[in-house]
Amino acid sequence: MTSTAHDGTTTAVTLPELVEVVAGEVAAAKGTLELVLEDPSRATALGNAVESTPESVERAIAAAQAAHASGTWSSISDAERAELLDAVAVALEARQPELAALEAFATGVPVRQTSIVGMIVPGAFRLAAEMLRSGALLDPPAESAGGQAVEVLRLPVGPAVCLVPWNAPAPMAAHKVASALAAGCPTILKPSEYAPYATTLLGVTVAEVLAEAGVDGGVFQLLQGGPAVGGAVVTDPRIRAVSFTGGAVGGRAVAAACSEKLAALQLELGGNNPLVIMPDADPEAAARAAVDLLTTLNGQWCRALGRLIVPEALADQVVGLAMERLGRLTAGDPLDEASDLGPIVHSVHRARLEAALEALRAAGGTVHRATSVPEEGNYLAPALVTGVSAEAASEEIFGPIATVHTYATVEEALALANGTAYGLEGYVFGTDTEQALAVARRVHAGEVKVNGSTIMSLHLMTPRPAWGLSGLGEEGTVETIRCFTNARVVGVEGSFSLHGR
């Protein structure tokens, strides 16, 4: 595939074959889905998405269970696993430009952004290795009442499944897979059927490195497909841990399956994130933050702007300045370094976003747009929508669309910020940092940034929790590794029997 930059130059991208890796064997996935994959920049068809057959799914689960039962992976030392994770990182670093280009092509996110986010892919494996070396799976021994040492062992729960979405899929896959392998779990990865390319390349790379080291083929495997394959692995009783990032409908189904068999579960399900502009905020800074949060990853990320909450006296000025900034963005081919904004991932999702805009109009909203976008392709000009009630703006849209809400008092602002069932991310902007922090501490979200709007977490070693409908459990550098473990407490009690001698 080729892309054309604004200056007329072209860039070629080679799409990898959509293979599966099952029990150490690499082969083309034999099933197909009705979903037709697209080049989002042109909205042209690329052929049907692929799917692993039920036979491949069964072989993969059986191989993972056999690897767990044999202890072939869990029995090696943390230091040995760390060395292998570092080897994976080295191999992925060599493929980083290719991974970034595939992410840009498949998701529509400009390559300037996928190149930065793509650093997470090898970085996730290096970080997991460092966590093993620093004792992430070791708790300090306690001492019993009788003076005996009591050990706390963090052990892998069993075969694990990592299900990743189509937005920034390779970085999320890297974080999940590196964490599961670090914990000692045989791991099965399933990419999103909408954007499988970079995740497939990542999975093949992991499998190659482990195979060269003589690791059992059941330790890491790659399956392709949609909800049917995802459902088959998640509901299987041999799978003992699931990490899922995606929508609320899928998340509820995964949660139900895991609760039925009492398996470990980690869910991140998105949010309808508020940006609270304090009365003393600099309007320029507020507008810049709003545009950044509206357009990063083309607005297709779980921590994007959902609701702009601004003082009545500043609303027109902030929206006006945001429109000026949006008007200066360059929309175009995501593989063009000059592009600030790319297309929506698929025409199906673009249609959902257009329907969401129409619903906001029908609810009394006025749509404000200023970005010129190409007529060809799945492009959608970012929009701020004023005049919509808080009740009509309670659901996540997952695109470059946000509603604007005004307030008279800070208490009203907090009521608006906390007025949805979600609680993933929050943002507060103000000149007085202490006042902004005081408001941030009252926002119902897992992470709340003051005067910041990047895609990165506040700190590498803090958790990334989710409140309400935004998910279950905590993600994080250490937290995700421990999600795939359970504790075993071992020691000599050294006490006496209640009865007898």
pLDDT beyond 80 at 102: yes
User: What residues make up the domain containing 441?
Assistant: 273-445
Q: Are 259 and 338 contained in the same domain?
A: no
pLDDT tens digits, 275-310: 999 999 999 999 999 999 999 999 999 999 999 999
The confidence score (pLDDT) of residue 180 equals: 98
Place of tokens 């994130």: 273
CATH number of the domain to which 354 belongs:
3.40.309.10
pLDDT tens digits, 60-95: 999 999 999 999 999 999 999 999 999 999 999 999
Q: Are 321 and 224 contained in the same domain?
A: no
Q: Are 222 and 308 contained in the same domain?
A: no
Which of 426, 445, 464 is a domain's end point? Answer: 445
Q: Are 201 and 280 contained in the same domain?
A: no
Task: Assign 224 a pLDDT band (cuts: 50, 70, 90).
Answer: very high
Q: Are 112 and 239 contained in the same domain?
A: yes
Q: How many domains are contained in the chain?
A: 2
The confidence score (pLDDT) of residue 297 equals: 96
142-143 vs 187-190, strand pairing mode: unpaired
pLDDT beyond 70 at 500: no
The confidence score (pLDDT) of residue 139 equals: 86
Task: Assign 312 a pLDDT band (cuts: 50, 70, 90).
Answer: very high
Q: Are 173 and 313 contained in the same domain?
A: no
Interatomic CA distance for residues 165 and 170, integer angstroms: 9
pLDDT beyond 70 at 8: no
Contact present, 188 and 160 (Cβ < 8 Å): yes
Q: Are 34 and 180 contained in the same domain?
A: yes
Instruction: With respect to residue 468, please indicate whether it lies within any of the assigned structural domains.
Output: no
Q: Are 138 and 182 contained in the same domain?
A: yes
Phi (first) and psi of residue 456, to 5 degrees: -80, 155
The confidence score (pLDDT) of residue 96 equals: 96
Share of the chain above pLDDT 90, in %: 90
Burial class, 285, CB count within 10 angstroms (exposed 0-12 / middle 13-18 / buried 19+): middle
The CB density around residue 18, as the number of other CB atoms within 10 Å, is: 21
The confidence score (pLDDT) of residue 387 equals: 98
Instruction: With respect to residue 231, please indicate whether it lies within any of the assigned structural domains.
Output: yes
Task: Assign 492 a pLDDT band (cuts: 50, 70, 90).
Answer: confident
Can you give the pTM of this predicted structure?
Answer: 0.95
Give me the mean pLDDT over the 412-438 stretch.
Answer: 98
pLDDT beyond 90 at 494: no
Q: Would you put residue 49 in left (φ > 0), alpha (ψ -120 to 50) or beta?
A: beta
AA identity, residue 264: A
pLDDT beyond 90 at 497: no
Q: How far apart are the first and last CA of the chain?
A: 81
Give me the mean pLDDT over the 480-486 stretch.
Answer: 97
Q: In terms of Cα–Cα distance, which of 261, 278, 296 is closest to 398?
A: 296
The confidence score (pLDDT) of residue 129 equals: 98
Interatomic CA distance for residues 429 and 95, integer angstroms: 38
Q: Are 236 and 296 contained in the same domain?
A: no
Q: Are 418 and 360 contained in the same domain?
A: yes
The DSSP H or E segment spanning 21 is strand 19-22
The confidence score (pLDDT) of residue 18 equals: 97
Per the annotation, the verdict on 268 as an active-site residue is yes
Q: Would you put residue 225 in left (φ > 0), alpha (ψ -120 to 50) or beta?
A: left
**For the chain, how big is the Rg over CA atoms in Å?**
24
Instruction: With respect to residue 452, please indicate whether it lies within any of the assigned structural domains.
Output: no
Give me the mean pLDDT over the 453-482 stretch.
Answer: 94
SS3 for 211-280, per residue?
HHCCCCCCCEEECCCCHHHHHHHHHCCCCCEEEEECCHHHHHHHHHHHHHHCCEEEEECCCCEEEEECCC
Q: Are 244 and 286 contained in the same domain?
A: no
The CB density around residue 10, as the number of other CB atoms within 10 Å, is: 11
Share of the chain above pLDDT 70, in %: 96
Interatomic CA distance for residues 492 and 141, integer angstroms: 12
Residue tagged active-site, from 51, 193, 268, 396 = 268
The CB density around residue 152, as the number of other CB atoms within 10 Å, is: 15
Q: Are 228 and 193 contained in the same domain?
A: yes
The confidence score (pLDDT) of residue 4 equals: 53
pLDDT beyond 80 at 2: no
Interatomic CA distance for residues 126 and 108, integer angstroms: 27
